[in-house]
Amino acid sequence: MTGDRDIKHMKWWGWGVDGVAFHHHDKPAFAPFVKEAVHLDLSTAQAVVPPELESLPVPVPKLTDAFAAQLVEVVGADHVHTDTLDRIVHTYGKSLRDLVRLRRAVIPRIPDVVLYPADEEQVRAIVDLAVAEDAVIIPFGGGTNISGSLEPPADETRPVLSVDLGRMNKVLDIDAESGLARIQAGTLGPDLEEQLGARGWTMGHFPDSFTHSTVGGWVATRSSGMQSDKYGDIADITRGLRLVVPGDVCVLRPLPSTATGPSVREMVLGSEGRLGIITEVTVQVHRLPEQRVIIGYLFPSWEAGLAAMQEIAASDAAPIVTRVSDANETKFSFSTSKAKPGLNLSGKIQKGLFTVLEKRGWDMSKVCLSFIGYEGAKSHVAYEKKLVKAIVGRHGGIVVGTGPGRLYDQKKFDTPYLRDFLLDRGAAGDVSETAAPWSRLMEVYDNTVAAAQRAYEEIGHPGWIMCHLSHSYHSGACLYFTFAFVHGEEDPLGEYDVVKSAIQQSFVDHGGTLSHHHAVGTEHSRWLEQDISAPGVAMINGVLGTIDPGRNFNPEKITGH
Amino acid sequence: MTGDRDIKHMKWWGWGVDGVAFHHHDKPAFAPFVKEAVHLDLSTAQAVVPPELESLPVPVPKLTDAFAAQLVEVVGADHVHTDTLDRIVHTYGKSLRDLVRLRRAVIPRIPDVVLYPADEEQVRAIVDLAVAEDAVIIPFGGGTNISGSLEPPADETRPVLSVDLGRMNKVLDIDAESGLARIQAGTLGPDLEEQLGARGWTMGHFPDSFTHSTVGGWVATRSSGMQSDKYGDIADITRGLRLVVPGDVCVLRPLPSTATGPSVREMVLGSEGRLGIITEVTVQVHRLPEQRVIIGYLFPSWEAGLAAMQEIAASDAAPIVTRVSDANETKFSFSTSKAKPGLNLSGKIQKGLFTVLEKRGWDMSKVCLSFIGYEGAKSHVAYEKKLVKAIVGRHGGIVVGTGPGRLYDQKKFDTPYLRDFLLDRGAAGDVSETAAPWSRLMEVYDNTVAAAQRAYEEIGHPGWIMCHLSHSYHSGACLYFTFAFVHGEEDPLGEYDVVKSAIQQSFVDHGGTLSHHHAVGTEHSRWLEQDISAPGVAMINGVLGTIDPGRNFNPEKITGH
One of 3.40.140.10, 3.40.50.1820, 1.10.3720.10, 3.30.43.10 is the CATH number of B47-164, namely 3.30.43.10
Cα-Cα-Cα-Cα dihedral sign, residues B80, B86, B90, B91: positive
| SS percent in chain B: helix, strand, coil, step 5 | 40, 20, 40
Residue B507 — φ and ψ, nearest 5°?
-55, -60
In one-letter notation, the amino acid at residue B138 is I
pLDDT digits (tens, 9 = 90+) for A395-411: 999 999 888 888 787 77
Residues B525, B561: Cα–Cα separation, whole Å: 10
Residue A89: its pLDDT value, please? 96
d(CA A413, CA A431): 14
Question: Which of A258, A306, A478, A526 should one mutate to test binding to chain B, selecting the residue with the greatest count of B CBs within 10 A?
Answer: A258
Residues 6 or more apart whose Cβ sits within 8 Å of residue A113:
A61, A63, A68, A71, A80, A81, A82, A87, A159, A160, A161, A162
Nearest to B439 among A178, A284, A515 (CB): A178
Asked if A222 and B518 come within 8 Å (Cβ–Cβ), the reply is no
Residues in B closer than 8 angstroms to A536, CB to CB, are 250-252, 264
Interhelix angle for B378-394 vs B302-314, to 10°?
A: 130
For residue B215, is pLDDT > 70?
Answer: yes
What is the rounded distance in angstroms from the CA atom of residue A155 to the CA atom of residue A151? 11
Q: What is the ipTM of this complex?
A: 0.96
Residue A277 annotated in ligand binding? yes
Q: Which of A485, A521, A66, A477 is nearest to A270 (CA)?
A: A521
Pick among 2.30.30.110, 3.30.160.110, 3.30.300.330, 3.30.565.10: CATH of B419-533:
3.30.300.330
**Buried b or exposed e, range B179-196, using 16+ CB within 10 angstroms:** bbbbbbbbbbbebbbebb
Residue B36 pLDDT exceeds 70: yes
* Spatial distance between the Cα atoms of B169 and B118, rounded to a whole number of angstroms: 9
A559 in contact with B, Cβ within 8 Å: yes
A82 min Cα distance to partner chain B (Å): 31
Angle at A279 between CA A274 and CA A284, to 5 degrees: 105
Among A234, A287, A474, the strongest candidate for a mutation testing the B interface, having the largest count of B CBs within 10 A, is A474
- Positive/negative CA dihedral, A157, A159, A163, A164: positive
Band the pLDDT of A340: cuts 50, 70, 90. Answer: low
| Contact yes or no for B539 and A438 at CB 8 A | no
Contacts of A513 in chain B (CB under 8 A): 253, 255, 257-260
According to the annotation, is B275 in a ligand binding site? yes
- Residue A276 annotated as binding? yes
| A535: Cα separation from own chain's centroid | 28
Chain A residues with beta carbon closer than 8 angstroms to that of B179: 314, 438, 474-475
Please tell me if the domain spanning B47-164 has the same topology as the one spanning B419-533. no
Q: Which residue out of B201, B248, B258 would a mutagenesis test of the A interface target, given it has the greatest number of A Cβ atoms within 10 Å?
A: B258
Contact A547 B558 (CB under 8 A): no
For residues B536 and A250, is the Cβ–Cβ distance under 8 A? yes
What residues of B are in contact with residue A244 (Cβ under 8 Å)? none
- Ligand-binding annotation for B140, yes or no, is no
The residue that leads in pLDDT, B338 or B376, is B376
Tally A–B CB contacts below 8 A: 321
pLDDT tens sequence across B105-124:
999 999 999 999 999 999 99
Which pLDDT does position B423 carry in this prediction?
95
Chain B neighbours among A 289-318 (CB < 8 Å)? 310, 314, 316, 318
3-state DSSP assignment of residue A435? strand
The answer to whether the Cβ–Cβ distance between A263 and B254 falls below 8 Å is: no
Q: Is residue B125's pLDDT more than 60? A: yes
Q: How much of chain A is helix, strand and coil, in % rounded to 5?
A: 40, 20, 40
Is residue A26 marked as binding? no
Residue-wise pLDDT for B472-531, tens only, equals 999 999 999 999 999 999 999 999 999 999 999 999 999 999 999 999 999 999 999 999
Band (pLDDT 50/70/90 cuts) for residue B404 is confident
B96-103 helix and B492-509 helix, angle to the nearest 10 degrees: 170
- The pLDDT-based confidence of A338 (bands split at 50, 70, 90) is confident
Q: List, in sequence order, every residue forming a beta bridge with B535; answer none if it has no partner.
A: none
CB interface of B with A, residues 232-271, below 8 Å? 233, 235, 239, 243, 245, 248-271
**Mean pLDDT for all residues in chain A:** 95
Mutating which of B431, B527, B532 best tests the A interface, going by the most A Cβ atoms within 10 A?
Answer: B532
Question: Is the pLDDT at A150 greater than 60, yes or no?
Answer: yes
Selecting from A267, A477, A542 the residue whose C-beta is nearest the C-beta of B547 gives A542
Q: Taking each helix axis from N to C terminus, what angle separates A96-103 and A492-509, rounded to the nearest 10 degrees?
A: 170
Catalytically annotated residue among A92, A231, A297, A480? A480
CA-CA distance, B226 to B320, in Å (whole number)? Answer: 8
For residue B513, the chain A residue with the least C-alpha distance is A258
Q: How many CB atoms are closer than 10 A to CB A174?
A: 18
Handedness of CA A422, A427, A433, A439 (dihedral sign): negative
What pLDDT, on the 0 to 100 scale, is given for residue A341?
44
Strand ranges in B246-339 using DSSP code E only, listed in sequence order: 248-252, 277-284, 286-287, 291-299, 321-325
CATH number assigned to the domain covering A291-411: 3.40.462.40
- Domain B171-287 matching CATH 3.30.465.10: the answer reads yes
- Select the residue of B435, B438, B520 nearest A261 (Cβ to Cβ): B520
Sort out which chain A residues have CB atoms less than 8 A from B431's CB and list them.
none
- Cβ neighbors of A25 (< 8 A, separation 6 or more) are none
Decide if B476 and A178 are in contact by the 8 Å CB cutoff: yes
Selected from 3.40.50.150, 1.10.10.60, 3.30.43.10, 3.40.190.290, the CATH number assigned to the domain covering A51-164 reads 3.30.43.10
Of A262, A512, A513, the CB nearest to B540: A262
Average pLDDT, chain B: 95
Residue B234: what residue type? I
**How buried is B230 (Cβ within 10 angstroms: 0-12 exposed, 13-18 middle, 19+ buried)?**
middle
CB B201 within 8 A of CB B403: no
Top pLDDT among B346 and A503 is at A503
Please report, for chain B, the start and end positions of each structural domain, with discontinuous segments joined by +: 47-164, 171-287, 291-411, 419-533, 534-561
Closest-CA residue of A relative to B376 is A316
Inter-chain residue contact A253 with B511, CB threshold 8 Å: yes
Give DSSP secondary structure letters for A96-132. Answer: HHHHHHHHTT--S---SEEE--SSHHHHHHHHHHHHH
What pLDDT is attached to residue A144?
97
A519 touches chain B (CB under 8 A): yes
Q: Is A90 annotated as a binding residue?
A: no
Worst-scoring range by mean pLDDT, A471-480, B146-155, B402-411? Answer: B402-411
> Does residue A276 register a pLDDT over 80?
yes
Distances from the Cα of A198 to the Cα of A71, A126, A193, B503, B522, angstroms? 36, 34, 8, 40, 47
CB–CB contact B513 A177 (8 Å): no
> Residue B96 is which amino acid?
L
Domain covering A427-535 assigned CATH 3.30.300.330 in the classification = yes
Its sign, for the CA torsion A401, A398, A227, A138, is positive
Q: Is A297 a catalytic residue?
A: no
Q: Which residues pair with B430 in a beta bridge?
A: B483
Alpha-carbon span B92 to B140, nearest angstrom: 10
**pLDDT surpasses 60 at A271:** yes
Burial grade of B497 (CB within 10 A; 0-12, 13-18, 19 or more): middle
Give pLDDT, residue B348.
64
Q: Per the CB < 8 Å rule, is A536 touching B252? A: yes
pLDDT digit string (tens) for B300-312? 999 999 999 999 9
CB contact under 8 A, A248 and B436: no
Residue B551 has pLDDT above 70, yes or no: yes
Number of Cβ within a 10 Å radius of residue A491: 12
Q: Which residues of chain A from 408 to 437 reach within 8 Å of chain B, CB to CB?
A: 435-437
Could you tell me the CA-to-CA distances from A155 to A108, A151, B255 in Å, in that order? 8, 11, 36
Pairwise CB contact (< 8 Å): A542 & B538 = no
Strands B427-437 and B368-376, bridge-based pairing: unpaired
Q: What is the largest CA-CA distance in chain A?
A: 78
CA of A210 vs chain B CAs: smallest distance (Å): 17
How much is the average pLDDT of A144-151? 97
Chain A positions in Cβ-Cβ contact with residue B547 (cut-off 8 Å): 535, 538-539, 542
Asked if A188 and A169 touch (Cβ cutoff 8 Å), the reply is yes
Q: Which is the catalytic residue, given B92, B231, B456, B480?
A: B480
pTM as predicted: 0.97
Q: Give residue B347's pLDDT.
A: 59
Q: Give me the count of residues in chain A.
A: 561
